[in-house]
Amino acid sequence: MGTLSDNMQDMLAKGRQNPPKGSRNGQARLTEDDVREIRRLGKSGVHQREVAERFGISYSYANNVINGERWKHVE
């Protein structure tokens, strides 16, 4: 236990300031390969609702992945 300042300094010293990205995040439903496939399908004309159903995600999330608003670190 420490002050907020102590805890922030400890966090920075241990490299814990950035949450894990992509599939390294324990709450991720997709993998980087899934994201690439979603983008490929979206660009090939497959409707976003079909993509969403195929991967078990919402329509809006599929839209965000296809448009690069989510999973920005994946090429």
> Beta-carbon neighbour count of residue 6 at 10 Å?
10
pTM for the structure as a whole: 0.73
pLDDT along the chain (75 residues), means of 10: 89 82 84 97 96 96 95 92
Are 72 and 55 in contact, with CB atoms under 8 Å apart? Answer: no
Are 22 and 72 in contact, with CB atoms under 8 Å apart? Answer: no
Distance CA 63, CA 9 (A): 38
pLDDT at 33: 97
List the chain domain ranges: 31-75
Closest CA relative to residue 39, chosen from 59, 15, 6, 62: 62
